Amino acid sequence: MNHPTVLISEVGPRDGLQSVRATMSTPHKLAWIDALVAAGLREIEVGSFVPARRLPQLADTAEVVRHARRHPGVTVMALVPNLQGAQAALDAGVHKLTLPVSASTAHSLANVRRTPAQMVDEAAAIVRLRDERAPAVLVEAGLSTAFGCTLQGAVAEDDVVRLAEALVAAGVDECGLSDTTGMAHPAQVRRLFRRVRAAIGARTGAAHLHNTRGLGLANCLAAWDEGVRTFDASLGGLGGCPYAPGASGNVVTEDLVFMFEAMGIDTGIDLERLFAARAPLREGLPGEPLYGMTPEAGLPLGFLPATRQEHADVH
C-alpha cells in the first residue's frame, strides 16, 4: 500500500482568470478556492501582483492571498513579473512566488520588455529581497516558451538549460518548464527535462504543459516518466480559447488527476469533490466554457483511486 505521489499545482485562479474577459468577483474567487482546498489541492496559484490597469481581473490578489492563507497545509502562490510585484506579494503573505522568465528573447521582449538575462538579474534581486524579508518563502522561476515560441519558432534547448543554470545561480529554489505555446511533444518533454535535471538537479520544478494540440496529458506522462513530480493544471481547463471547440490552453486538472489516480499515483485529491469545485467556478464566470472530459464521462465503473488500489504498478 505504498503509492507514489505527485503534487498538482492549481493555476486556474491566476492563469485561468487572467485569460478570460470577465472578472470573477472576490467572493466567488474565495468560494472557488475553498472548494479546491476541500477537494485536496495543496498548492494554488491564487493571483498575480501586476498593475491593476494591466490585469483588472486580478486586482484583488492581496485579499485573495490573505483568505487562502487561512487554509492550513496549503501553499499559497502568486505570480510576480518583477521586484515590485515581489514586494507586494511578500506584503500580502504568499508562501511561494513564481516569476515567469522566457527562454525566447523575442517572447521576453514582447511580454515584459526585458531580455532573459535582465530577468535573471530581476530574479537575483527578488531572491535578495526574500532572503531579507521572508526567508521561508520559496521563489520559483517558470521558464516560459521552453518548448517553442509563436514569435521565433524553435527555442534552442541549450538556451533553456543555460537559463535554468543562471537562475539557480541567482538563487531561485525551483525552475519549472512551461509549454506556453502548446508546441511541446513527448520526446521533447523527456529530453528537455532530462537535460535540465542533469544541469540543476533537484531544483528542477514543475511541468506546466498546455493542451493546445491535444497532447497535454501525453506530455505530462512523458514528464512523469522523467521524474517530474509537480504538475500545473487548471480546473475546467480555464484559460482556453473559446473559439476552438474542445481546445484549451492549460492541462485540465480533472483529467490529469484522473490519469494519475487511475495509474495508482496518489494526488491527495478526491475526484468527486474536484468535479464539485466546478460549480463555484461556473457560478463565478457564467457562460464561460469549461473543459474536462472526465467530469463529462464520469468515473469508470469500478474505478479505484490510488490509495484504494491493492498495489500500484506505474511502470
Is 8 within 8 Å of 226 (Cβ atoms)?
A: no
Cα three-residue angle 170-175-179, rounded to 5 degrees: 135
Whose Cβ is closer to a second copy: residue 185's or residue 229's? 185
Q: Which residues are catalytic?
A: 241
Report the residue from 137, 259, 274, 285 that binds a second copy according to the rule CB under 8 A. Answer: 259
Report the residue from 181, 204, 230, 253 that binds a second copy according to the rule CB under 8 A. Answer: 181
Whose Cβ is closer to a second copy: residue 171's or residue 289's? 289
User: Least distance to a second copy from the beta carbon of 259, Å?
Assistant: 5
Report the residue from 22, 51, 246, 272 that binds a second copy according to the rule CB under 8 A. Answer: 246
Longest dimension (CA), the chain: 54
The residue behind cell 526574500 is 130
According to DSSP, the residues that pair with 231 across neighbouring strands are: 8, 207
Whose Cβ is closer to a second copy: residue 53's or residue 315's? 315
Number of Cβ within a 10 Å radius of residue 82: 17
Burial 202-226 (b: 16+ CB within 10 A, else e): ebbbbbbbbbbeebbbbbbbbbbeb
User: What is the residue-wise DSSP string for 189-216?
Assistant: HHHHHHHHHHHHGGGEEEEE-B-TTS-H
Cα separation, 244 vs 235, whole angstroms: 18
Whose Cβ is closer to a second copy: residue 100's or residue 148's? 148
Q: Is 150 in the site for a second copy (CB under 8 A)?
A: yes
Scan residues 186-245 and list those touching a second copy (CB under 8 A): 186-188, 190-191, 211-215, 217-218, 220-222, 244-245
Q: Is 6 in the site for a second copy (CB under 8 A)?
A: no
Report the residue from 20, 38, 262, 276 that binds a second copy according to the rule CB under 8 A. Answer: 262
Residue among 285, 287, 296, 291 nearest 13 (CA): 285
Q: Is 294 in the site for a second copy (CB under 8 A)?
A: yes
Report the residue from 142, 182, 284, 305 that binds a second copy according to the rule CB under 8 A. Answer: 182
Burial 40-49 (b: 16+ CB within 10 A, else e): ebbbbbbbbb
3-state secondary structure of 230: strand
Instruction: Mark residues 100-129: x for contact with a second copy by CB under 8 A, - for none.
Output: ------------------------------
The residue range among 15-23, 90-98, 136-144, 182-190 that interacts with a second copy, by the rule CB under 8 A, is: 182-190
Helix (H) or strand (E) holding 294: helix 293-297
Size of the site for a second copy (CB under 8 A): 51
User: Least distance to a second copy from the beta carbon of 315, Å?
Assistant: 7
User: Least distance to a second copy from the beta carbon of 199, Å?
Assistant: 18
According to DSSP, the residues that pair with 78 across neighbouring strands are: 47, 97
Which residues of the shown chain bind a second copy in the complex (CB under 8 A)? 148-154, 181-183, 185-188, 190-191, 211-215, 217-218, 220-222, 244-247, 252, 255, 258-259, 262-264, 289, 291-294, 296-297, 300-302, 312-315
